[in-house]
Every structure is written in C-alpha cells, then in structure tokens.
Amino acid sequence: MQVGFIGLGAMGNAMANNLLKAGFALTVYNRTCAKADALVDKGADLAKTPAEAAQGEMVITMLADDAAVESAVFARDGVLEALSPSAIHISMSTISVALAERLTNAHRAKKQGFVSAPVFGRPEAAAAAKLYVVVAGVPEAVQRCLPLFDVLAQRSFVVGHEPPKANLVKLNGNFLIASVIEALGEAFALVGKAGIDRAQFLDVLTNTLFGAPIYKTYGGLISEERYHPAGFKAELGYKDIRLALAAAEALKVPMPLASLIATRLLTLIAQGEGHLDWAALAKLAAQEAGLGLASLEPVAPGQ
C-alpha cells in the first residue's frame, strides 16, 4: 500500500521507520528535508511538498502543533488539494479539538477520508512500536487504517465516529499525566523537607496503589531530579494543557485542577525553564518550599 508520511521529528521518524520495515511503500515529507535522508536510504521516496506525499491511499501527518498541521494541509501544495476522494488523511499529531473539527469538515467537503489517531508514548516507545493509538472516525475508514496502527502501536482504541473525539481523549490524557506530575511534585517536596528518603517513598508508591507506568516514569524523574534533557518539554506541556482547557471552554466544563497546572507550567516558562521536562513542575514545588535554598536547608545528608 502506498502511504505518505509528513513530519519527521523524533516521533515521526521512528514511526515512518517502522512502516518501512513492515513493507509499506512510503513517500516522506519534512520541511527541512535533511531529516528524511536516512529513510530515503532505506527505500522511502522523498516528496518535495505535502501534496506530493498525499498521492497514495493514505497520508499520515505527525507534526509539532496546530500551525504546522494547518500549513501542511491547507496551504498551496498541501494535503487537502492533492488527496484523492478515496484516500484517507490520518492525523496523528496532538492538535486542538477545534482544528480537528476544521479538518473533519474540510475533508468531508472534498469527500476525502479523515481519521484522527493521536498517540500516547515518547520517542522510545515510537521506535519500539509500543505506542498507544486513540482513534476516531467513520468506521469504514477506521477499519482501513487499523493494519497500519498495528505496525506502529501495541494497541489501538477506537473511541467514536467523529474524529475530534480522539483528540479530546488524547488531550485529556495529557491533562491526567500533568496532574500526576503536579501531585508527585508537591508530595516529594513535603517528603523531602521532612527528611524522608525520596527513593524509599517512591518505592512505597509504586509497589502499592500507584503501580502504573506513569508513576514509575515521572516518580523516577522527580525523585532523581532529572529534568534535562527533556522527554517532553514544559512549554509543550503548557500548550497541550491549554488545548485541553480550550476544548473544555468550548464545551463549558470548568476544570480547576487543569487551570492550576496551566498556571504553574506558565510559571516555569516565565522563569526561563520552559525547555526542561514538564516533570520540572516538581522543581517549582521544591523551590516554593524553600528546598535548595542553602540558607534554609535544614536537612542533614542521609536523613
């Protein structure tokens, strides 16, 4: 099957690679084409425009944000004008619900297929084909995409017929992750100032009620204060929480905890730390508690 792939960042590159390995005929596009070199060496065709990548049966977009997707789809030489009516645009980027609605309508008007399929997972998971895909779209179109998701992910979840619903679930998931980080950040600040061993505390959590990947991953980062290099930057986290809040605003759903987290991520960014992993919400909590201020630090080593 002929598949286009637009967006070769850390995530996209790993995903495109898996599709190639699985035998798909891939046409790849990236704004800066150097990133495509390794894929082309392995047999992918290079497209000079998004439109060129959209000649086949399916085209995947895996881009950084709304603006990048808008540009790849709606601009001249974009996906929208090139895609044939029988073909499907699979949007796997984390984008706003509003943009997903606009894409749904634009493709429907052209009788093109459109499926929203954002993913959970960091670049390592993408490389290992261990992503989770959240899918929504017209059932027949979704059906055609599933074999492709099987190559990229350990599991796919179909959550509805209207594509934007998948984006809402994805953004909501990112909100839940951020809320775990914020809670852990405050808990570790308290534990740290009480002189309790941080690793021991994490051990209690992950071996009792909190034995989920999310607590292991973020608990580990926070316990060891590893905020750099970022797996997912605070400034991107802020963007996603704002998108969740925008969706909530449109549906008139007040989310006080999500608002709190947005404010705290913005604080990190305003203090010049937006490039750190969003686990650095825990750094903010520690700072606010006066931890790390030498003059205030009462806790002896080893305590």
Contact window for a second copy (CB under 8 A) among 45-53, 58-66, 141-149, 193-201: 193-201
Q: Kindly identify the residues of this chain, within the stretch 70-109, that bind a second copy according to CB under 8 A.
A: none
Q: Kindly identify the residues of this chain, within the stretch 237-266, that bind a second copy according to CB under 8 A.
A: 242, 244, 247-249, 251-260, 262-264, 266
Total number of residues binding a second copy (CB under 8 A)?
A: 76
Contact window for a second copy (CB under 8 A) among 51-59, 100-108, 143-151, 188-196: 188-196
Q: Kindly identify the residues of this chain, within the stretch 198-217, that bind a second copy according to CB under 8 A.
A: 200-201, 203-205, 207-215
Q: Which of 38, 67, 128, 296 binds a second copy (CB under 8 A)?
A: 296
Is residue 160 within the footprint of a second copy (CB under 8 A)? yes
Q: Is 193 assigned a catalytic role?
A: no
Is residue 157 within the footprint of a second copy (CB under 8 A)? yes
- Cα–Cα distance for residue pair 145/90, rounded to 1 Å: 8
Is residue 196 within the footprint of a second copy (CB under 8 A)? yes
Contact window for a second copy (CB under 8 A) among 61-69, 107-115, 141-149, 172-180: 172-180
Q: Which of 24, 29, 114, 120 binds a second copy (CB under 8 A)?
A: 120
Nearer to a second copy, 27 or 167 (CB): 167
Is residue 190 within the footprint of a second copy (CB under 8 A)? yes
Nearer to a second copy, 5 or 264 (CB): 264
Token output for 164: 């934007």
Is residue 124 within the footprint of a second copy (CB under 8 A)? no
Is residue 197 within the footprint of a second copy (CB under 8 A)? yes
Contact window for a second copy (CB under 8 A) among 7-15, 42-50, 99-107, 267-275: 267-275
Residue pair 46/68 in contact (Cβ under 8 Å)? The answer is no
Nearer to a second copy, 22 or 289 (CB): 289
Q: Which of 23, 43, 147, 290 binds a second copy (CB under 8 A)?
A: 290
> Residue by residue, what is the 3-state secondary structure of the chain?
CEEEEECCCHHHHHHHHHHHHCCCEEEEECCCHHHHHHHHHCCCEECCCHHHHCCCCEEEECCCCHHHHHHHHHCCCCHHHHCCCCCEEEECCCCCHHHHHHHHHHHHHCCCEEEECCEECCHHHHHCCCEEEEEECCHHHHHHHHHHHHHHEEEEEEEECCCHHHHHHHHHHHHHHHHHHHHHHHHHHHHHHCCCCHHHHHHHHHCCCCCCHHHHHHHHHHHCCCCCCCCCEHHHHHHHHHHHHHHHHHHCCCCHHHHHHHHHHHHHHHCCCCCCEHHHHHHHHHHHCCCCCHHHCCCCCCC
Positions marked catalytic: 170
